[in-house]
C-alpha cells in the first residue's frame, strides 16, 4: 500500500510538472500570437475565431462523454496489466469515435445556412462560410486520432500528453505567426494549423503504439457485453453532464455575437483568455491527481477517501481563491498596458467573470472526485436544469443589461451544481452528510470576499500615476493579502498544514 501511495505521488508530480510547463508555454504563446493577431487582423477576426471555436464546442456534444467513461474503464485493466481487455476497450473507443466524426460533420454542415443569424455585424470579414468549414474540418479530423490519447492519462502519465500538447502548440504558433506576417491572410492562417496539427496527431499515435505495442494488433477483440453495459450506462449519464457543460460554457459567445456583435466577442476574449489560462493552470495541478484518486477509490476505505478529498479540496480552494483576487484587480490594468484602453470591457462584467471563475473552480475538485469514483448516474438531471437556467437567464438579462447580463445568467445557473454536487459526492462516494462541507464552503467564500475588500481598501490609499509601477503594486497586494487571510483563518486546520508540507516537498522534487 505504501508503494502504491509513493507511485501515485510520483506520477502526480510528473503530471503536474508536465502540465505546469505546458500551461506556462501555452500562455506565453497565446499571448504572443494574440498580440500579433490583433495588430495584423483586428478584434473582429479575433471575435470570429472565438465564436467558431465555441460553435465547435457545442458540436462536441456528439462525443457524449465517451472519453471520460473510457478513462474510468481503463483504470482497473491498466492496474492489472490486462493487455487484452485494454485493447478491446481502445478498439471499442476507436469505432465509437469514427461514428462521432460523421455525426459532427453532418451536424456542422447543417449549421451553414444559419451562420448569418449567429455572426452579427462581421464588418470587413470575408468568406465567413469557408472560415467556418475550415474550423469544422479540423474538429472532425481530430476524432479519427484522439481515441489513443486516453492511454497516457488513464495510466497516470498525463505529463506525456501535456508535453506533446506543448510541443505541437509551439510549432503551430510559429508557423501561423510566419503565415500572418508574410500574408496577413486568415484563411492561410487556419489551413496551416490544420496541416500541422494533423501531422502532429499522426506522429503521436505512432508514439502511443511504440509505448503500448499490444494496441497494434490486427486481431479484432470484442469487448465483453458486461463491460459494454457499464460503459454504456456511464455514457448515458455523462450525456446529461456533457449537455450541461456545453450549454453553460460554450454558449456565451453565441449569445454575445447574436445579440450584441461579433466584435464584442473579441473584446471579451481578451479577458476570458486570462480566466481560461488560470483555470487551465490550476486544473493541470488538480487533474494530475485524478488517476491517483481513482486508485484511492478502488482500494481505500471511505474514511481515507474523505480525508484525501478534504486535503485535495482545500488545495483547490486556495489556488482558485488567490487566483480570483489576482484576476479581478490585475486583468483590466494589464489589458490597458498590453493593447490599449479601447480594448477594455466594463468593470461589472470583469467582476462577474471573476465570480464565475471562483464558483466554477470550487466545483473542480468535486467533479474530479466524481470522475475518479465513476459517479455520473445519480445527478444526471442536474446539468440539464443548469443548462436551462443558463440559457433562459442569460438571454433575458442580456436583453435588459447587455453584456453583463450574459454572465449574470451564468452565475445564476452555477448555483444549481454548487448546491447539488457536494450532496451527491458525499452521499455516494463517502457515505456521509455534506453539511460540514456547506458550512466550510460559505466560510471560504467570505474569506475571499474579505480579501477583495481589503485589497480594494489598500489600493485606494495608494496613488501612483505610473501605470507599470501601479500594476506591480497591485500584483504585490494581490499575492500577499488573500494568502495571508487564508493562512490566518485556516492555520489550525490539518488541510492547510498538509498542503504547506506537500507544496514544500513538491517544489523540491520538481526542482530536482
Each residue of 459-509: pLDDT tens digit? Answer: 888 777 788 888 999 999 999 999 999 999 998 888 888 888 877 776 676
Higher confidence at residue 263 or residue 397?
Answer: 397
Judged against a pLDDT cut of 60, whether residue 7 lies above it is answered with no
pLDDT at site 166: 79
Tens of pLDDT, residue by residue over 33-43, are: 888 888 888 87
> Cβ distance 296 to 304 under 8 Å?
yes
Could you write out the DSSP letters of every residue in 367-409? HHHHHHHT--GGGTTHHHHHHHHHHHHHHHHHHHHSHHHHHHH
Residue reference for cell 442580456? 398
User: What does the alpha-carbon distance between residue 331 and residue 73 come to, in Å, rounded to a whole number?
Assistant: 41
Average pLDDT, integer, range 200-227? 83
Distance CA 134, CA 112 (A): 12
Cell numbers placing 235:
455514457
DSSP string, 149-183: THHHHHTT-HHHHHHHHHHHHHHHHHHHHHHHHHH
What does the pLDDT look like over 430-457, one tens digit per residue? 888 889 999 999 999 999 999 999 999 9
| pLDDT tier, 1 (very low <50, low <70, confident <90, very high otherwise) | very low
Rounded to the nearest 5°, which phi and psi values hold at 454? -65, -45
Backbone angles phi, psi at 288, to 5 degrees: -60, -20
Cα–Cα distance for residue pair 194/19, rounded to 1 Å: 24
- Angstrom CA distances, 60 to 20, 67, 85, 274, 283, stand at 26, 12, 27, 23, 20
What is the structure's pLDDT at 334? 92
Is the pLDDT assigned to residue 399 strictly greater than 60? yes
pLDDT of 371 > 70? The answer is yes
Q: How far is CA 352 from the centre of its chain?
A: 18
- % of residues, the chain, pLDDT over 90: 20
pTM: predicted TM-score of the whole model, two decimal places: 0.76
- For residue range 304-360, list pLDDT tens digits in order: 888 888 888 898 999 999 999 999 999 999 999 988 888 889 999 999 999 999 999
Query: Residue 221 gets which letter from DSSP?
Result: P
Which has the minimum average pLDDT: 98-107, 208-217, 247-256, 409-418?
247-256
In sequence order, which ranges of 81-119 are alpha helices (DSSP H)? 83-110, 115-118
Rounded CA-CA distance 280/29 in Å is 14
Between the CA of residue 123 and those of 48, 126, 345, what are the distances in Å?
A: 11, 9, 20
- Higher per-residue pLDDT: 380 or 333: 333
| Phi, psi values for residue 111, rounded to 5° | -85, -15
Residue 66: pLDDT band (50, 70, 90) is low
CA separation for the pair 213, 255 (Å, rounded): 47
pLDDT for 477 equals: 93
pLDDT score at 324? 96
Secondary structure class of 145 (helix, strand, coil)? coil
Q: Bigger pLDDT: 167 or 509?
A: 167
* Residue matched to cell numbers 492547510: 496
Residue of 300, 276, 55, 290 lying closest to 150 (CA atoms): 290
Q: Does residue 121 register a pLDDT over 70?
A: no
Q: Helical H runs in 212-261?
A: 225-249, 252-259
- Ordered by start, the domain boundaries in the chain are 300-512
pLDDT of residue 353: 95
Reported confidence tier of residue 2, pLDDT bands at 50, 70, 90: very low
When pLDDT is averaged across residues 418-441 and rounded to a whole number, the result is 88
Work out the angle between the directed axes of helices 2-41 and 43-59 (0-180°, nearest 10).
140
State the chain's mean pLDDT as an integer: 81
Distance CA 318, CA 432 (A): 24
d(CA 42, CA 49): 11
DSSP 3-state of 355: helix
- Model confidence pLDDT, tens digit, residues 103-113: 888 888 988 88
Q: Which of residues 327 and 17 earns the better pLDDT score? A: 327
- The Cα 232–Cα 237 span in angstroms is 9
Position 122 scores a pLDDT of: 62
Per-residue model confidence (pLDDT) at position 61: 56
Sequence-distant (6+) residues with CB within 8 A of 359 are: 411, 414, 418
Q: Which is more confident, 31 or 243?
A: 31
465: helix, strand or coil: coil
Q: What percent of the chain has pLDDT over 70?
A: 82
Query: Is residue 300 within 8 Å of residue 369, measured between CB atoms?
Result: no
Separation of alpha carbons 268 and 403, rounded Å: 9
For the cut 80, the answer to whether the pLDDT of residue 237 exceeds it is no
Q: Does the structure show a pLDDT above 70 at 292? A: no
For the ranges 149-153, 183-187, 294-298, the lowest mean pLDDT is seen at 294-298
Instruction: For residues 180 and 7, give the distance between their C-alpha atoms in angstroms, rounded to a whole number.
Output: 46
What is the C-alpha to C-alpha distance for residues 512 and 505, in angstroms, rounded to an integer?
11
Find cell 477594455 and name the residue.
Answer: 344
Dihedral, CA of residue 360, residue 366, residue 369 and residue 370, to nearest 10: -90
The reported pLDDT for the residue numbered 503 is 72
Q: Which of 369-373, 390-394, 415-419, 454-458 has the lowest mean pLDDT?
A: 369-373
* Per-residue confidence band for 15, with pLDDT thresholds at 50, 70 and 90: low
Element (H, E) at 357: helix 347-362
- Name the pLDDT band for 3 (thresholds 50, 70, 90): very low
Amino acid at each position: 500500500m505504501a508503494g502504491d501511495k509513493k507511485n501515485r505521488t510520483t506520477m502526480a508530480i510528473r503530471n503536474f510538472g508536465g502540465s505546469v510547463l505546458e500551461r506556462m508555454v501555452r500562455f506565453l504563446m497565446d499571448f504572443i500570437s494574440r498580440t500579433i493577431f490583433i495588430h495584423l487582423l483586428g478584434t473582429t477576426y479575433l471575435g470570429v475565431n472565438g465564436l467558431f471555436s465555441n460553435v465547435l464546442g457545442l458540436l462536441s456534444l456528439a462525443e457524449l462523454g465517451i472519453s471520460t467513461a473510457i478513462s474510468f474503464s481503463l483504470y482497473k485493466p491498466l492496474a492489472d496489466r490486462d493487455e487484452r481487455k485494454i485493447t478491446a476497450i481502445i478498439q471499442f473507443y476507436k469505432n465509437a469515435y469514427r461514428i462521432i466524426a460523421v455525426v459532427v460533420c453532418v451536424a456542422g454542415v447543417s449549421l451553414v445556412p444559419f451562420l448569418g443569424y449567429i455572426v452579427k455585424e462581421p464588418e470587413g470579414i470575408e468568406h465567413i462560410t469557408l472560415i467556418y468549414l475550415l474550423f469544422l474540418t479540423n474538429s472532425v479530423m481530430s476524432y479519427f486520432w484522439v481515441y489513443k490519447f486516453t492511454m497516457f492519462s488513464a495510466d497516470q502519465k498525463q505529463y506525456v500528453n501535456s508535453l506533446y500538447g506543448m510541443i505541437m502548440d509551439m510549432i503551430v504558433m510559429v508557423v501561423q505567426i510566419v503565415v500572418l506576417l508574410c500574408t496577413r491572410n486568415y484563411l492561410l492562417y487556419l489551413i496551416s494549423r490544420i496541416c500541422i496539427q494533423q501531422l502532429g496527431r499522426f506522429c503521436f499515435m505512432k508514439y502511443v503504439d511504440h509505448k503500448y505495442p499490444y494496441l497494434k494488433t490486427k486481431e479484432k477483440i470484442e469487448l465483453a457485453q458486461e463491460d459494454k453495459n457499464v460503459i454504456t450506462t456511464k455514457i448515458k449519464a455523462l450525456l446529461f453532464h456533457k449537455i450541461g457543460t456545453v450549454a453553460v460554457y460554450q454558449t456565451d459567445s453565441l449569445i454575445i455575437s447574436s445579440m450584441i456583435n461579433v466584435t464584442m466577442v473579441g473584446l471579451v476574449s481578451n479577458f476570458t483568455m486570462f480566466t481560461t489560462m488560470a483555470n487551465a493552470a490550476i486544473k493541470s495541478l488538480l487533474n494530475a491527481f485524478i488517476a491517483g484518486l481513482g486508485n484511492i477509490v478502488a482500494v481505500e476505505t471511505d474514511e481515507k477517501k474523505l480525508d484525501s478529498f478534504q486535503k485535495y479540496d482545500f488545495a483547490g480552494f486556495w489556488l482558485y481563491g488567490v487566483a480570483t483576487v489576482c484576476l479581478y484587480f490585475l486583468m483590466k490594468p494589464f489589458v490597458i498596458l498590453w493593447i490599449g484602453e479601447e480594448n477594455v470591457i466594463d468593470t461589472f462584467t470583469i467582476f462577474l467573470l471573476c465570480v464565475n471563475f471562483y464558483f466554477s473552480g470550487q466545483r473542480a475538485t468535486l467533479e474530479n472526485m466524481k470522475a475518479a469514483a465513476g459517479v455520473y448516474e445519480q445527478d444526471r438531471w442536474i446539468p440539464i436544469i443548469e443548462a436551462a437556467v443558463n440559457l433562459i437567464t442569460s438571454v433575458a438579462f442580456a436583453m435588459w443589461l447587455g453584456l453583463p447580463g450574459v454572465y449574470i445568467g451564468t452565475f445564476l445557473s452555477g448555483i444549481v451544481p454548487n448546491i447539488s454536487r457536494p450532496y451527491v459526492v458525499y452521499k455516494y462516494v463517502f457515505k456521509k452528510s455534506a453539511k460540514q462541507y456547506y458550512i466550510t464552503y460559505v466560510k471560504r467564500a467570505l474569506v475571499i470576499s474579505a480579501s477583495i475588500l481589503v485589497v480594494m481598501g489598500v489600493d485606494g490609499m495608494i496613488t501612483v500615476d505610473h501605470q507599470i509601477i501601479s500594476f506591480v503594486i497591485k500584483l504585490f497586494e494581490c499575492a500577499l493579502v488573500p494568502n495571508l487571510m487564508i493562512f490566518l483563518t485556516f492555520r489550525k486546520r490539518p488541510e492547510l498544514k498538509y498542503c504547506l508540507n506537500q507544496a514544500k516537498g513538491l517544489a523540491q522534487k520538481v526542482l530536482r
